[in-house]
Structures are given as C-alpha cells and as structure tokens.
C-alpha cells in the first residue's frame, strides 16, 4: 500500500492533540455506517457520541438576528408561510417530494433524464426569491444552485433521512477520527509506504506497474487506486484509459471548503446573549462551536464553502487566516482575545485531494459517475466519489467493498 502523504487517512484529518482536537475532514460516523462501525469494533477503536454543537444565531446582510427572534425579526426576509423556518432548515422544507426510492436511485440511468439543476426545480416550484437567496448561501454540495444536480441534492436529503431513521446518535472516534485509518494501517501485515507518490500506471499483458516519483517501479498483479479525481488527473496511464473515463476524471468537480479552526477557553458569546454558532449569508459562511467537554474549552470552526471560497483562494495562507480572523472579530467583537487559532485548512488547495468531496452538476450523476470507476483489466478504482449508496467515509468503505468484489472476480 502506497501513500503519497507522510500520514494515512486522506480526508480523515484531525488537527491538534486530544482532547483539544478539531476535525478538518470527515466529522461524524453516521449511525448507519455499518462498515465503519464494524471496522472500529474489530480494531478496538473506541467511539463516542460527540458533544452537541451549540445552536446558531443568524447574520444576514450584516445584521444580527438572534435565533429566538428569527420568526418575528424584521430582518427575516422570508414570506409569511416560511418565516418560522430557519435558514439551515429550508432545504428539508423546500426540496420535497424526494423521488428517490432507493439509496442508489440518484445515479440510476432511468432517472438521469430527470436531472435538472436545483435552481430549475426551485423556480418550477415557485419558491420565493428570498428563500432561494438563502439556499444559495452556504452550499455544501455545489458551487451554485444553477450548477448543482437536483438528484445529487435529493441523495443528500435521503441520506440524512436514512441516518435519522436509525434513531441512534452519530459517533466520533475518541481522540480524533484520524485514529481510525491509523489503526487500519497498523493492522496491515506490511506497513503503508508513506511519502511515496505514484506518477504513472503501466499495464502489460500479465502485470501492472506503478511508477513512483522516486523513479522506483512496483510490479503487481493488479492496482487499486483510491485517489480522488483531481489527484488522478496527475497520473499517466499506459495504455490510456478509455475516453469516457478520462473525460469523467477531468470533468468531475470537488467541493471547495475553507476552514479556520480555533480553540476558545471561555464562552464569550454568553456575555452578549448569543448562542455561540452562526449562520451567515456573508463571507464567513457558517461558524460551528462545540464544547470539548461540559463547560469548555470549546472548538470553533469557520466553515466557508463553494463559491464563497473564491475570494481567498488566490491569497496566501497567512493573508487568508488574517482576513477570516478580522471578519470573525467584527462579527463577534466580544471575542476579544479569546480566539486561539489552531489552523487553516483549504481542501481545494490540497493537490492530493482538490476539494472536500465530489459534487455533481446536472446530468453528471449517471454515465459520468459510472465511468469514473470502471475497472480496466488490472486497474481498479475506489473512493467516496465512486460510492453508490453511501457518502463520506462509509461511501469510501462501500466503494472498497465493490472494488474488492471486482478484484476477486478478476483473479478467481
């Protein structure tokens, strides 16, 4: 097993040391993440329910609206029928009815022709413009409503509903989610080769060779590639992959996510009657706060997504962190010196990831999705972008299961 980084885990990445650690990558283990739960159990990796995140207040067009005042606030832009619904809950109210009967219907060829943009769906359903404007803020699964596949958003909503139906809490790994892939790596019969980057894959009649950046070549019967598509674009394949697969790898987009992580020792928001977390329609996106333990300290994460990342994407890390920090203190002047930076993470700047997760534009969820993971003789593909039923870390495990099945068939 070869890993380009000097650590295992990819988009499972824990910042800091327990108990003051913050998740930059996958956050929660859903109660229906069967493969993850079984793996953690087998490797004796302890799981725990995370402390609940604090509630959020709202900042719209620079004006603060307390959570309790949202329905009656003059700054609530929604029409009467929707005023009771907070911005983060609009999706569940307006993206109905969900036509997906199964967990993989979102990518079924039968439904492909129905895949329009979320914007087109909202307009057809005559959703009021102020609600559309709120939905356009803080998109997690696309760059804009006009370029986000409706089926992919139905998939997201369905996934949330399926997890909720389990009536069990979500979990996290004690000491940080990155401890799980570390335990998986430690359980292997031969260690993962860290810091070894593959630059080429050459297939011959009876072998496949992985060419490393160091110049070394590893021969094998087969290769299983779990790189996200942006990293796959940097691999040379000989012979070339089929055209539709190459095009899919080049085309699929990944979600931009910029995060700034802080440690907070005292709940300064209580002095002004605020809730702690924020949902904004401005450049700060969302702000999540959760206690490390009852009474503090706390972890605060600024979470900026999609096109809102564009402003700082061309800036250096230091300038980006400084700008976020300055805006955060404008929003929460009471924070004063309470914010202790833990790190800036920009998944779109990680060359081995190119973004946080695969996102889908209208029409991309069927043929293009399937082309991404078609095995080619001795080459097999896995990764969250190739998962049918689940997403996130469970999707990655599900895709590995599928790839192992393909491998077993090939060599049975």
384 in contact with another protein (CB under 8 A): no
CA dihedral 70, 75, 77, 78 (to 10 degrees): 30
Which residues have a Cβ under 8 Å from the Cβ of 102 and sit 6 or more positions away?
389
Q: How far apart are CA 342 and CA 323, in angstroms?
A: 15
* Nearest one of 1, 102, 39, 8 to 397, comparing CA atoms: 39
221 in contact with another protein (CB under 8 A): no
Which of 66, 81, 101, 217 touches another protein by CB under 8 A? 101
Interface stretch with another protein, choices 61-69, 97-105, 180-188, 248-256 (CB under 8 A): 97-105
Q: How far apart are CA 367 and CA 19, in angstroms?
A: 44
Which residues have a Cβ under 8 Å from the Cβ of 365 and sit 6 or more positions away?
106, 107, 112, 115, 149, 151, 152
162 in contact with another protein (CB under 8 A): yes
Q: How far apart are CA 261 and CA 276, in angstroms?
A: 14
| Shortest spacing between CB 183 and another protein, in angstroms | 16
| Shortest spacing between CB 38 and another protein, in angstroms | 5
Classify the C-alpha dihedral 104-106-107-113 as positive or negative. Answer: positive
401 in contact with another protein (CB under 8 A): yes
Q: Give the binding-site size for another protein (rule: CB under 8 A).
A: 29
Q: How far apart are CA 376 and CA 220, in angstroms?
A: 15
| Shortest spacing between CB 402 and another protein, in angstroms | 5
391 in contact with another protein (CB under 8 A): no
Residues 109 and 366 sit within 8 Å (Cβ to Cβ):
yes
Which of 109, 166, 213, 238 touches another protein by CB under 8 A? 166
| Shortest spacing between CB 371 and another protein, in angstroms | 16
344 in contact with another protein (CB under 8 A): no
5 in contact with another protein (CB under 8 A): no
Residue ranges in 109-148 that form contacts with another protein under rule CB under 8 A: none
Interface stretch with another protein, choices 21-29, 36-44, 177-185, 231-239 (CB under 8 A): 36-44
Q: How far apart are CA 21 and CA 292, in angstroms?
A: 8
Interface stretch with another protein, choices 176-184, 221-229, 358-366, 389-397 (CB under 8 A): 389-397
- Residue among 338 and 365 whose Cβ is closer to another protein: 365
Task: Give the Cβ contact number of residue 194 at 10 Å.
Answer: 14
Residues 111 and 105 sit within 8 Å (Cβ to Cβ):
yes
Site string for another protein, 40-79 (x = CB under 8 A): -xx-------------------------------------
For another protein, the binding residues (CB under 8 A) are 32-35, 37-39, 41-42, 101-104, 162, 165-167, 388-390, 397-398, 401-402, 404-405, 408-409, 412
């Amino acid at each position: 097993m070869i890993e380009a980084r000097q650590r295992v885990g990819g988009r499972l990445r824990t910042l800091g040391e327990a108990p003051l650690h913050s998740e930059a990558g996958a956050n929660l283990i859903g109660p229906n993440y069967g493969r993850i739960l079984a793996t953690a159990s087998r490797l004796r990796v302890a799981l725990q329910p995370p402390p609940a995140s604090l509630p959020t207040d709202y900042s719209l067009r620079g004006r603060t609206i307390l959570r309790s005042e949202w329905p009656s606030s003059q700054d609530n832009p929604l029409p009467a029928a929707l005023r009771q619904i907070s911005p983060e809950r609009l999706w569940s109210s307006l993206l109905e009815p969900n036509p997906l009967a199964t967990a993989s219907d979102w990518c079924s060829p039968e439904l492909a022709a129905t895949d329009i943009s979320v914007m087109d769906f909202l307009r057809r359903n005559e959703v009021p413009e102020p609600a559309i404007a709120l939905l356009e803020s803080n998109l997690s699964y696309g760059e804009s409503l006009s370029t986000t596949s409706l089926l992919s958003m139905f998939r997201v909503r369905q996934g949330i509903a399926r997890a909720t139906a389990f009536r069990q809490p979500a979990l996290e790994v004690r000491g940080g989610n990155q401890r799980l892939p570390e335990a998986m790596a430690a359980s292997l019969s031969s260690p993962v080769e860290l810091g070894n980057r593959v630059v080429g894959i050459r297939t011959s009649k009876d072998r496949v060779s992985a060419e490393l950046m160091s110049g070394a070549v590893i021969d094998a019967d087969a290769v299983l590639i779990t790189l996200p598509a942006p990293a796959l674009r940097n691999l040379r394949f000989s012979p070339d992959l089929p055209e539709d697969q190459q095009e899919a790898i080049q085309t699929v987009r990944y979600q931009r996510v910029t995060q700034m992580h802080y440690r907070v020792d005292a709940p300064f928001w209580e002095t002004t009657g605020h809730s702690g977390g924020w949902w904004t329609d401005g450049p700060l996106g969302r702000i999540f706060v959760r206690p490390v333990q009852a009474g503090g300290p706390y972890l605060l994460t600024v979470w900026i997504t999609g096109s809102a990342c564009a402003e700082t994407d061309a800036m250096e890390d230091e300038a980006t962190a400084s700008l976020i920090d300055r805006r955060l203190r404008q929003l929460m002047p009471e924070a004063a010196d309470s914010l202790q930076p833990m790190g800036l993470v920009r998944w779109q700047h990680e060359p081995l990831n190119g973004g946080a997760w695969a996102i889908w534009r209208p029409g991309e969820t069927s043929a293009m999705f399937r082309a991404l993971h078609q095995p080619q003789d001795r080459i097999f593909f896995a990764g969250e972008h190739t998962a049918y039923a689940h997403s996130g870390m469970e999707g990655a495990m599900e895709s590995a299961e599928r790839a192992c099945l393909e491998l077993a068939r090939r060599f049975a």
